[in-house]
Structure 1
Amino acid sequence: MSDFHREPNTNVGQVNLKVQDLECALKFYQEVIGFKVLEQTEKSANLTADGKTILLSIEQPDNVAPMQGKTTGLYHFALLLPTRSDLAQIVQHFANIGLRFGSSDHLVSEALYLSDPDGNGIEIYRDREPSEWKWNHGEVEMAVDPLDFRDLLSGVKQQAWNGLPADTMMGHIHLHVSELVKTEEFYVKGLGFEVVNRYGTQALFISTGKYHHHIGLNTWNGVGAPKPSENSVGLQSFTLIYPNAAARDRAVANLQNIGVPVSEENSAFATSDPSGNRILLLI
């Protein structure tokens, strides 16, 4: 397990999506991405890599509407693979099924990009060793360079596709937001994250424990972008896992101190960022 995704850090645990057609989405997430179904009802399903931990839930709401353009919400959720050879294996799998996908070398990681049938963005990546990351004045160096597929695939044998490795985790989430000033206050002063990279004036990358980012935030859908409608395809919510009750209680108190409403729901606290992205705070 990545040290950046366990105590004493705070990280994304589970992403909850709304889809138009549950059966179509399930087929994609099982056959293309390689998830296993942990639980399923007529309108929803919980998906896992290890057979016990839910990483993604998908739900088909009543009167569901297609994804709206130029709104706040999900840019992508990102699945972190344990090794570079795991990334190579999924590249071979995508090639074998004729899937088109994007890719990038971010210096801190190597990543693949695609979308589900509803347009929900997905990143699948592997991290380089933290000793290889470069930091300048408290900011981690990241880029959008071409991925070297020849080097990635060299020496990797073709083998049967067996789905996501059991140690796959939710590495990070990247969100469309309507602006960055109040957003930064919410995530830094409220939730307790630290800015580790400013991508011009249009994006922020934040983390705990000096990870390259647990959350990305951008205004690429336009400053002032509206929230999507309640029944629209897209992000329903995501969870943040705090290392202990004290850390979560501090976050709740900090949010309330800056005027952000927080409600208690079962064993979680629920809140929304200034752009309407809903977050459940767990331990």
Structure 2
Amino acid sequence: MTTETTATQPTHALDMPAYIDHSHLVVSDLPMLSDWYQKAMGLSVLEKSAFGQTLGVAGRPLLTLTTAANAARAPRNAPGLFHTAFLVPDRFELGRWLVHAAHSGIALTGASDHLVSEAIYLDDPEGNGIEIYRDRDRSEWNYVPDGTVKMATLPLDLQKLYDESPKESWGGQADGTAIGHIHLQVSDIPEADGFFRDVLGLDLMARYPGASFFASGKYHHHIGANVWNSRGQPKRQSNMTGLSDYTIQFNDAAKFETAAKKLEELEIPTTRQGERLSLIDPWGIGLNLVA
């Protein structure tokens, strides 16, 4: 086994040079979806407006839900969200949520051991994909000589996780819960490699058939991109429900400026307000870069 960290180096998804900070969904039924994310996912409402709500954990904004009169349900094969991945602090908290889900009748769509993490999957009532996961300690990750990390999709023993977990009432997600990564549906993988690696400066950390995984700081992935449903599809329309935009936060200001310069060189339209750049990616998904 080879690792690229020491006890003194940061290993959490949010301590990397860049990380996912926020996800913004357009929804059809705002009150219903907000209630669901509070009850099912344990988020709290932090901010309200006439057209939207921002939810989070322990005061940290994670998810904004907005609605619009012209919002049209996105087809399943449209580019956009595959899932928003909520990272919990540890296996104990993942188990606590699983017990809550089981006792609340929350339907799951899958569960996997990815070697680097343990993940449970579900959809919200409007079909937006969700992953809730915990990372294994990075000393347990296997890196290969080309710098990528070994990942797999193996069965996760949910019964064992449930049996090991306390059965007391659940009061919501623990402090420290964050968006660990976001997984996107795109139209073309070489185009995704070109955008996330060559333009935004993220490292290609893993490949699956029809998917690439990108990260900063040798994390397993901050962004996933696949064509499993969306290969060759046109850009998403601006009024579609689902993922409106998401935010990459740069802890490393130099990496932010390098990405900004690359976007300018390629004449990709952006709007800049101070240390914030907003753009539309090649698949019609909004993206904010923040230093």
Counterpart residue type for residue 146 of structure 1:
P
Q: Deviations over 1:128-175 (max 9, x none)?
A: 111111122322111111111243234422111101112101100000
Separation of aligned partners in 2, 1:227 and 1:192: 23
With over 3 angstroms needed to count, the CA separation of the structure-2 counterparts of 1:279 and 1:124, relative to structure 1, is same
2:209 paired with 1:234: no
2:44 paired with 1:61: no
1:149 maps to 158
Which segment drifts farther, 258-267 or 38-47? 258-267
SS at match of 1:3: coil
Determine which of 41, 53, 57 is the counterpart of 1:45: 53
Give the superposed CA RMSD.
1.6
- Percentage identity across paired residues of the two chains: 38
Separation of aligned partners in 2, 1:144 and 1:273: 28
Determine which of 180, 200, 208 is the counterpart of 1:199: 208
SS at match of 1:66: coil
Separation of aligned partners in 2, 1:177 and 1:8: 24
Separation of aligned partners in 1, 2:215 and 2:254: 19
Could you tell me whether the CA contact under 8 Å between 1:67 and 1:118 is conserved in 2?
no
Counterpart residue type for residue 172 of structure 1:
H
Counterpart residue type for residue 153 of structure 1:
Y
Could you tell me whether the CA contact under 8 Å between 2:185 and 2:226 is conserved in 1?
yes
Counterpart residue type for residue 279 of structure 2:
T
Q: What runs of 5+ residues in structure 2 fail to find an aligned partner?
A: 1-9
Counterpart residue type for residue 61 of structure 1:
A
Separation of aligned partners in 2, 1:126 and 1:39: 27
Q: What runs of 5+ residues in structure 1 fail to find an aligned partner?
A: none
Q: Deviation of residue 272 (structure 1)?
A: 2.4
2:244 paired with 1:252: no
SS at match of 1:140: coil
Number of residue pairs matched by the alignment: 280
Counterpart residue type for residue 80 of structure 2:
G
SS at match of 2:28: coil
Could you tell me whether the CA contact under 8 Å between 1:67 and 1:119 is conserved in 2?
no
2:4 maps to none
Q: Deviations over 1:179-203 (max 9, x none)?
A: 1222211111211101011112x10
TM-score (norm 1): 0.94
2:181 maps to 172
Separation of aligned partners in 2, 1:147 and 1:245: 38
TM-score (norm 2): 0.91
Q: Deviations over 1:216-259 (max 9, x none)?
A: 00111232112232221100100000014332111100122234
